[in-house]
Amino acid sequence: MPNSADIIAARLYEAGVRQAFGVPGGEVLEIIDALTRAGIEFVLARHENAAGFMAEGAWHATGAPGVLVATVGPGMANTVNVTANADQDRVPLIVLTGSYDDATTLRYTHQIFDHRAVLRPVVKESFEARIGACDVMIDKAVARACDPQCGPVHVDLPVKVAVADHPAPRGARIAPLSACCPAGLDGAQARLAEAERPLILAGLDALPGAQRIADLARAHAIPVITTYKAKGVLPEDDPLSLGGHGLSPKSDAIVLPLLAEADFVICVGYDPIEMRPGWQDPWDPARAVEFVAAPNRQAMHEVVESWVCDPAEGLAALLEGQGAATGWGEGVARTRAALAEAFAPGAEWGPAQALDVLDRDRPDDLMVSVDSGAHRILLSQMWRMARPHRLIQSTGLCTMGCALPLAMGHALASGERTMAVMGDGCLDMILGELATLRDTGAPVICTVLNDSSLALIELKQRREGKRSVGVDFGATDYAAVAGALGLSAARVASAGDLAEAYAEALAADGPYLLEIVIPPRGYDGLI
């Protein structure tokens, strides 16, 4: 008879899971063994936070929920950041933690606290596995994680439950929720019919319906602005694409006036959790509607009508019978040209020129992850993505140290070459994951922009007339560190040397660290 851990592992395999990521401990040995028996590879990370981002990277590659495994106490506590990130970034993450049964915790106190209470504020649901019902429990967990608005779910698995025999599992499954097509669109359709300059604003919940949204936008000649997470929902080389925005005052100065010109704004899967305060009240609520995957409880903007549904289905229903937009003239083309000019790299060596080299020589199908900081804002404005899920990042929580594990998880799940773009402060936070990169052999190019500073915070300090405190640190030779770990690496400080080393990194089969030394204070005027 299989045990409870076997049932959980088998159900996860049936859900499409092929890798689980984590750090082992005595309390999760049974579930790790069961995952392996079921055909799910367990990938050892150096920290649970990084393991969670690796699991997210795998989800971007396969569409199956990510799985993070952590042991009791400090192992479980280390999952909080990445679980909160999954909540804000709509990642279907199954957080499997080991625990002790109630009888043990009445007397034994070592490393014990209430796991479920800690994670409850940042998960969609928290389950405690029970003997004889793990099939029902894991089915519920997967279904909740993959609801129309995805998110993290916690499963606390006591040791005695994991090893207990489990009866034959139920054959039935919990059907996933189906977001219904909206009704009562007459008023919105009438307003749209009168509009000459409609505009679509697409956010992270638009990703599942990206192709349909793109087809509808083209069919009705409606320009599209996206958030950073939704870059590529409409390919950004399309004349109707206005790119991704949200954190750059420089781009806002160009895009927000165009948004104000729109006489009908259609929010599609848009959640302002990604946006800076400048996106508060960017339009007249009387001329805006939204289609959202879950009720929108924010106070950043208002709309006259809101429907909870599949965002792409909602857009399709709204546009049924409508003609093409006729009033934009050259406005969209002028805005695209202004953005291209504003974020042109210039001739002086620095972060813009470095990112331009990486973009210019980047293969179209290369999946890129980018970490949090000034480099992320600049890259998200400069680079054009041809499809969604090809530029992945932490956009709601904006947590540092995410890019390398995201890229590793994606590469391990897909077998594709990937690239992580990081700042030096980001890499410092997870330097140990370079050893994970070596051990997995994941085909990842880890690029690190090194200016020995927390550049975004330093820039904000100067803008506000404050002294630079706590933002500068000693210079690290990351290429030498990588070489000491047995990784191929190069260190460059010019556009020509970068182009040469980048070509070598792209041609390599395994991991490669590319360190790009840029001058301090190099982001001034760029974002």
In what helix (H) or strand (E) does residue 180 lie, and over which residues does it extend?
none
How far apart, in Å, are the Cα atoms of 84 and each of 68, 79, 205, 421?
13, 9, 17, 22
Task: Please state, rounded to an integer, the average pLDDT across all residues of the chain.
Answer: 95
Angle, to 10 degrees, between the axis of helix 311-319 and the axis of helix 186-194? 60
CATH number of 186-338: 3.40.50.1220
Per-residue pLDDT of 475-502, as tens digits, reads 999 999 999 999 999 999 999 999 999 9
Q: What is the pLDDT of residue 178?
A: 58
**153 pLDDT exceeds 90?**
yes
CATH label, 4-163, candidates 3.40.50.300, 3.40.50.970, 3.30.300.30, 1.10.1050.10: 3.40.50.970
Structure tokens at 493: 């400080």
Encode 432-443: b = buried (16+ Cβ within 10 Å), e = exposed.
Answer: ebbebbeebebb
DSSP structural state of residue 223: -
Segment among 84-88, 401-405, 458-462, 507-511 with least mean pLDDT: 458-462
Nearest to 275 by CA among 244, 311, 254, 243: 244
Strand segments, DSSP code E, in 334-415 are: 367-370, 391-392
Q: What is the pLDDT of residue 105?
A: 77
Q: What is the pLDDT of residue 175?
A: 62
Structure tokens at 385: 């993505």
237 in Cβ contact with 208 (< 8 Å): no
Query: CB-based burial of residue 456 (10 Å sphere; 0-12 exposed, 13-18 middle, 19+ buried)?
Result: buried
Strand partners, 226: 202, 244
Per-residue pLDDT of 343-400, as tens digits, reads 999 999 999 999 999 999 999 899 999 999 999 999 999 999 999 999 999 999 999 9
492 in Cβ contact with 501 (< 8 Å): yes
Segment among 126-130, 190-194, 295-299, 415-419 with least mean pLDDT: 295-299
Residue 261, classed as helix, strand or coil, is helix
Q: What is the pLDDT of residue 439?
A: 98
Strands 19-22 and 305-308: unpaired
Encode 28-60: b = buried (16+ Cβ within 10 Å), e = exposed.
Answer: bbbbbbbbeebebebbebbbbbbbbbbbbbbbb
Structure tokens at 105: 């915790």
Under CATH, which architecture does the 345-517 domain have?
A: 3-Layer(aba) Sandwich (3.40)
Q: What is the pLDDT of residue 172?
A: 60
Q: Do domains 4-163 and 345-517 have the same CATH topology?
A: yes
Confidence tier at 169 by pLDDT (50, 70, 90): confident
Letter for the amino acid at 463? R
Average pLDDT estimate for 126-134: 96
Q: What is the largest CA-CA distance in the chain?
A: 74
CA distance 117 to 100: 15
177 in Cβ contact with 237 (< 8 Å): no
**12 pLDDT exceeds 70?**
yes
In what helix (H) or strand (E) does residue 525 lie, and over which residues does it extend?
none
Segment among 105-109, 140-144, 259-263, 307-311 with least mean pLDDT: 105-109
Encode 503-518: b = buried (16+ Cβ within 10 Å), e = exposed.
Answer: eebbeeeebbbbbbbb
Give the CA angle between residues 272, 303, 330 to the nearest 5°.
80
**122 pLDDT exceeds 70?**
yes
Domain ranges in the chain are 4-163, 186-338, 345-517
Q: What is the pLDDT of residue 148?
A: 85
Confidence tier at 100 by pLDDT (50, 70, 90): confident
Confidence tier at 227 by pLDDT (50, 70, 90): very high
83 in Cβ contact with 93 (< 8 Å): yes
Segment among 159-173, 315-329, 424-438 with least mean pLDDT: 159-173
